Structure 1
């Protein structure tokens, strides 16, 4: 069962009775009610009291102590948290949660930095609602006001940049790590969590000690999340990140099972790697094929979410997880999602720029130059020139839009709209590699919910706050040591993974299956995109789509991915257009 919650903030004459009516209608439990706040939760979502005016909704783990979810605070913890506020909570605990701090007539709301617990928002009059899902906002009488077509256009253009806005009118999000204060219907920003607090490297730490520090914190976080379930199912690609998660579950004594999907093309077949890992760990492995029969272009992934997510080729992936979960009584899905992001994966010259800026030219910079050349196959002159160009620029990361197949008028209207996020605001003395690292972590956040998360929690342990903070403290050049990507993570788990997994350099991909879908469903894809609502609202470039989908034209991998993203968005609009219409008739 996934955690669900609804928090109502504000004053109304019938707040208590209204909250009880919502509880009765949704099956939630009214966990806390005050003149300002009502908190409703289901059985899978804890409501932890700090004091009469402070509470935490969701799953919380201690920074120090046994790696398992807490059910209550000690007296000492309550006193420290009441005295130190939300910043003390960020320092002493982590997890997937939303916290409330009531002080007089103001309420501070903080969402944890990992984005592990969704937080959608809506308002009606003086009441603001915060919820795990849109269905609960609708039950509270604050559901969406239809599709926000301009917002959807911005989302398709922004290439996965997390934003406060969604693609549904009246529905927004509280971003990960953000804190706000509401007082008398007025909202202001408060101090939350910033990744830039943790980018300072540990001075003089030996590489072996860094790897050991990372190993301990990853094992602790995965073990903590494992304590919340009995029978997790691990999405196993055979790559490094999901293999690390599986190895840590084995270390924690978890009764886990694994699932891998494969394509007919060898580029998407990682069964050999997955089987070698499961044989070493003692976990059962289910193998499912990416099947064309499982792709329905009229069905939307993320139909329950206030924004489209994913691409049509993932439908067999989700279906396989649901089938295996039902057979094995799975109560949580574990993923290596975010591993590339937190473990500093890069194929650019930014690590050389970082090291030269931090240490100056010398033996260290030369070693990093050699590592990058070895990893990427690029020549030293090319890498040096690229690093020099990076070093001359502002350290702030410039998020690039994705205009492919979007209507030229839409692209032109968004040309001067900054692609901004508080985490992308780099301090003046920041190293550019850390800005890239932080941007990579942000890229993982929009993909943390999926269709299978409706039947059981989807846990992405590598994005846990302590892991993110630890990885941010590791210099970018250390992640490239020896010419290997994610080098520190490889060193940390060198004794836990099969050599063929640890040393592999090529990543598997379902891209061949994407191409297969385009070839087999070209006519249907063309009809849906040219005659659908995205075209009708001026979001897509019909001419470019028609040209790409000509029978005599081969599409590129990038085009395939974009077209399958757009057709999923088209299906999503059909769901929400009919849903909103049904509620108003």
Structure 2
């Protein structure tokens, strides 16, 4: 799968001042006044009031993939500054919304599937899904925030909007970045606490609801892609995904990885799970030679992340035949291709 990407500029110069041919695969997206937006992947235009980058599904007993929106839906999304988008839809997306006052609202969906980094420059605001392009590089004046780096290394799971790069912030999942005449501000449209129900609710009803939601969401994602390569350990998570993918029309292939010395060898459990779900399973060994302690695990990232064994995980492409670059999402159990 090619992950949707974007680069955006909001400033006095309406055109992106640093854009070069290096932004391969990013094409201009008609969006609205004052925004230079370039993206790859699925794009849903919003009739001159912005655009949605990524994958969108309408909520329901059976989720429906959305490739275009009706004018009344667009008006409601813009009028509520993205609140109705979060209520009525789900997916992996970033929405750029232009309201009637000429203010831009950038919404990162609650799943946080697509990253959103932003940086304030003298002439405007730059936003992007990655840090490999201007103006987020070292040669663009971006340096390490050592205080933030120390905090991250001490409590990595407490990460907030601040990154380990000076002057570069991350828009958190479920938040909106509002850019208007009164400056820049963040607003939270979604919180997990809004979905904490009364604990006195019947446990069987809760279990049934969870089963229905997980089955629907996994099947909906599976239908987006021609095939799914599923990392399988035989454990709970991958076994649930394998079973839920039976509802989709995609082709499912499984893979399990193991260390040659026998440590962490879960092939027996993976074989049982694959057989039960009707999934063809491939097996491949990690190689210690693929681990380089002197090399970064992930390049062009806002924070150090992932264990060094992920290098060996990514290097199994020559065995499996599925080239895989290390990215912040490499640790996920599912690879959509």
Question: Does structure 2 conserve the Cα–Cα contact (< 8 Å) formed by 1:26 and 1:139?
Answer: no
Q: Distance in 1 between matches of 2:35 and 2:95?
A: 12
Which structure 2 residue ranges, 5 or more long, are not aligned?
Answer: none
Question: Does structure 2 conserve the Cα–Cα contact (< 8 Å) formed by 1:146 and 1:169?
Answer: yes
1:294 aligned to which of 290, 295, 298: 290
Question: Does structure 1 conserve the Cα–Cα contact (< 8 Å) formed by 2:91 and 2:109?
Answer: yes
Match of 2:15 in 1: 16
CA shift for structure 1 position 319: 1.4
CA shift for structure 1 position 226: 1.1
Match of 2:158 in 1: 161
CA shift for structure 1 position 269: 1.3
Match of 2:218 in 1: 222
1:181 aligned to which of 178, 181, 190: 178
Match of 1:305 in 2: 301
CA shift for structure 1 position 202: 7.3
Change in CA separation of 1:161 and 1:135 when aligned onto 2, cut-off 3 Å: same
Q: The residue matched to 1:160 in structure 2 has which SS?
A: helix
Question: Does structure 2 conserve the Cα–Cα contact (< 8 Å) formed by 1:134 and 1:143?
Answer: no
| TM-score (normalizing by structure 1) | 0.52
- CA RMSD of superposed structures (Å): 3.1
For 1:496-515, what aligned pairs fall within 5 Å after superposition?
none
Match of 2:8 in 1: 7
| 1:127 pairs with 2:124 | yes
CA shift for structure 1 position 190: 2.2
| 1:32 pairs with 2:30 | yes
Match of 1:247 in 2: 243
CA shift for structure 1 position 324: 5.4
Match of 2:330 in 1: 450
When the two structures are aligned, how many residues end up with a matched partner?
Answer: 334
CA shift for structure 1 position 227: 2.1
Q: Distance in 1 between matches of 2:168 and 2:78?
A: 31
1:210-250 Cα shifts (integer Å, max 9, x gaps): 22211111011111211221121111121101111111112
CA shift for structure 1 position 83: 4.0
Question: Does structure 1 conserve the Cα–Cα contact (< 8 Å) formed by 2:230 and 2:255?
Answer: yes
Change in CA separation of 1:294 and 1:311 when aligned onto 2, cut-off 3 Å: same
Q: Distance in 2 between matches of 1:230 and 1:93?
A: 23
Match of 1:418 in 2: none
Higher relative contact order (CA 8 A, sep 6+): 1
| 1:282 pairs with 2:278 | yes
Higher strand proportion, which one?
2
Q: Distance in 2 between matches of 1:74 and 1:458?
A: 32
Match of 1:400 in 2: none
For 1:384-533, what aligned pairs fall within 5 Å after superposition?
449-450=329-330
Change in CA separation of 1:210 and 1:301 when aligned onto 2, cut-off 3 Å: same
Match of 1:492 in 2: none
Change in CA separation of 1:305 and 1:141 when aligned onto 2, cut-off 3 Å: closer
CA shift for structure 1 position 267: 5.4
1:489-514 Cα shifts (integer Å, max 9, x gaps): xxxxxxxxxxxxxxxxxxxxxxxxxx
Change in CA separation of 1:329 and 1:152 when aligned onto 2, cut-off 3 Å: closer
For 1:59-98, what aligned pairs fall within 5 Å after superposition?
59-64=55-60, 67-98=63-94
Q: Distance in 2 between matches of 1:24 and 1:265?
A: 43
Change in CA separation of 1:22 and 1:66 when aligned onto 2, cut-off 3 Å: farther
Structure showing greater radius of gyration is: 1
Change in CA separation of 1:159 and 1:269 when aligned onto 2, cut-off 3 Å: same
Greater mean alpha carbon deviation, residues 164-173 or residues 107-116: 164-173
Which structure 1 residue ranges, 5 or more long, are not aligned?
Answer: 334-446, 460-585
Higher helix proportion, which one?
1
| TM-score (normalizing by structure 2) | 0.87
Question: Does structure 2 conserve the Cα–Cα contact (< 8 Å) formed by 1:124 and 1:142?
Answer: no
Q: The residue matched to 1:32 in structure 2 has which SS?
A: coil
Question: Does structure 1 conserve the Cα–Cα contact (< 8 Å) formed by 2:226 and 2:251?
Answer: yes
CA shift for structure 1 position 448: 5.0
| 1:323 pairs with 2:318 | yes
